[in-house]
Amino acid sequence: MAKSRGMSLEEAAGGGPAPKRPEERFPQFSRKQADNEAGLAKGGRMSDSWVDADKIRRDAALEEARERGLDEAERRKAAAAANRVPRRNNRKRDPDSHARVLLSETSLPLEEISVLAGMDVYEVVALKLKMRRGE
């Protein structure tokens, strides 16, 4: 496995070549320098460079993973989802008439009728009282 990745056995056992430590890549920043404006600006630039270096390292790792084919299943899922046509039901009943039918033909609780019809519980209660008045 180490041979296929172009590493020695020691590098593979250690997880690959060790990345450079931040202290080696960036100059030191002391607390004394933070007291003046120039030192504060230097600290901000160093922080920005650390963030940029992390982004570059992350992008490189993602590209290596893509080359190895580690995200192939995710790409297939995304492509299938993009090609899928969303289901549309044009025969959905009007919530008012749906609740009216459920109230007259079933003995379901009002809360369940409100969920099924997509209405507020108080609207279903008002509809039930209006239906009672009409009888």
In a domain, 102, yes or no: yes
* Residue 88 DSSP symbol: -
Kindly report, residue by residue over 46-71, the tens digit of the pLDDT. 777 788 888 999 999 888 888 887 77
Q: Does one domain contain both 75 and 120?
A: no
Structure-token pair, residue 4: 């296929």
Number of domains in the chain: 2
Cβ(99)–Cβ(124) below 8 Å: yes
- pTM for the full model? 0.34
117 neighbors 102 (Cβ within 8 angstroms)? yes
Question: Is residue 9, in this structure, part of any structural domain at all?
Answer: no
Distance between the two ends of the chain, CA-based, in angstroms?
A: 81
* Domain ranges, residue 130: 95-134
Q: Distance (Å, rounded) from C-alpha 118 to C-alpha 88?
A: 17
Q: Given this model, what pLDDT does residue 29 score?
A: 54
